[in-house]
Amino acid sequence: MSFKNFKDKIEENDTVMLYLSPQSIHVIKVMPKIVTRKGNEVENIFQTVYGALKVMDLVGMSYGAKVNLTKGYGYILQPTPELWTVTLPHRTQVLYTPDISMVLLQLDIRPGCIVVESGTGSGSLSHALIRAIAPDGKLHTYEFHEQRAKIASEEFKEHGFEDLVVVHNQNVCEAGFGLENVADSVFLDLPSPWLAINHALTSLKSNGRICSFSPCMEQVQKTCIELEKLRFLEITIIECLEREFQVKNISVADSELFSFDNDSVNNSLKSFRGFTTPLKMPGHTGYLTFATAPMKSSLSQEIEVVNGS
């Protein structure tokens, strides 16, 4: 299985998505046995609110097919970075699709790009970055937590991304990225991003783009001060607040019009096709601070002038 390429039929060892509803999507590994918490190896049967699924029955089925569960049904979908973001095992806070799409756009991430990211965390953003730089780009992702770096590395391999990503287990605030003038863009999701900005500048090409994601305005302020000190240009802060309108059949049964005088409402008006605003809206996630790296040649001339040479 690969997140990179779509295929028709499900095979053993594929990672698949079981879709029950927009709020209920599950990731399943197609393998005959699983190990229970008590360490026993048992047949791989996946339990859902609509009953059980014998996982090996999926082998040979087409992706997109409807699958019967003991008390209902679901659909088996190909894995994508978007579905991975909502199903992945959380080891940390993660970036979600509205922020991810803004990052991809603002950092101008395209096939062939060299991208630097830290921290890797749960790999939510990494999956979207890797798909965007394929087939010949490279993601260098840095994580100082050894276990997280190891698990992310294993997941990338399992998802067929081994040629597109290098996981570095290091503290970027102390050791930097070990790259010079090669990165098209740098993305930071760190508690103290301002400590990594000078290292990011070293890694970036002239005019490369940087983004720092921070939940708190105090982090943004310190980051902007450092960006300005290092002569970054076009500093912009964006907060993505998503408001999704749902297109659906709206019943007028509950409306005031209908309850006021049942008889006067034409039956054909009891339900109509329309759209509604969401009952719940996701709120603040974080601020995205973007900037453009200065031309390296003009930066070194400026430093020479300051030093009087």
Least Å distance, CB 152 to ligand SAM, is 9
Residue numbers 172-201 binding ligand SAM by CB under 6 A: 172-173, 189-191
125 is in an annotated binding site: yes
Exactly one of 131, 148, 199, 222 binds ligand SAM (CB under 6 A); which one? 148
| Count of alpha carbons within 13 angstroms of residue 116, beta-carbon side | 28
153 known member of a binding site: no
In the list 10, 58, 69, 118, the residue contacting ligand SAM (rule: CB under 6 A) is 118
- Select the residue interacting with ligand SAM from 67, 94, 288, 293 (CB under 6 A): 94
Residue range at the interface with ligand SAM (CB under 6 A); choices 43-51, 114-122, 224-232, 283-291: 114-122
Least distance between ligand SAM and beta carbon 268 (Å): 48
- Three-state helix/strand/coil letters over the chain: CCCCCCCCECCCCCEEEEEEECCEEEEEECCCEEECCCCCEEECEEEECCEEEEHHHHCCCECCCEEEECCEEEEEECCCHHHHHHHCCCCCCCCCHHHHHHHHHHCCCCCCCEEEEECCCCCHHHHHHHHHHCCCCEEEEECCCHHHHHHHHHHHHHCCCCCCEEEECCCHHHHCCCCCCCEEEEEECCCCHHHHHHHHHHHEEEEEEEEEEECCHHHHHHHHHHHHHCCCEEEEEECCCCCCCEEEEEECCCCHHHHHCHHHCCHHHCEEEEEECCCCCCCCCCEEEEEECCCHHHHHHHHHHHHCC
Please give the Cα distance from 31 to 43 (Å, whole number).
9
Q: How many residues bind ligand SAM (CB under 6 A)?
A: 22
Q: Does 87 bind ligand SAM (CB under 6 A)?
A: no
User: Per CB under 6 A, does 211 bind ligand SAM?
Assistant: no
Asked if 219 touches ligand SAM (CB under 6 A), the answer is: no
d(CA 173, CA 274): 51
Q: Which of the stretches 91-99, 225-233, 241-249, 282-290 binds ligand SAM when contact is defined by CB under 6 A?
A: 91-99
285 binds ligand SAM (CB under 6 A): no
In the set 124, 212, 223, 285, which binds ligand SAM (CB under 6 A)? Answer: 124
Rounded least distance, CB 269 to ligand SAM, Å: 46
163 is in an annotated binding site: no
Part of the chain binding ligand SAM (CB under 6 A), chosen from 49-57, 121-129, 201-209, 240-248: 121-129
User: Is there a binding annotation on residue 122?
Assistant: yes
Note whether 121 binds ligand SAM by CB under 6 A: yes
At its nearest, how many Å lie between ligand SAM and the CB of residue 91?
A: 7
Residues that bind ligand SAM (CB under 6 A): 92-95, 118-119, 121-125, 142-145, 148, 171-173, 189-191
Binding site, annotated residues: 122-125, 143, 189
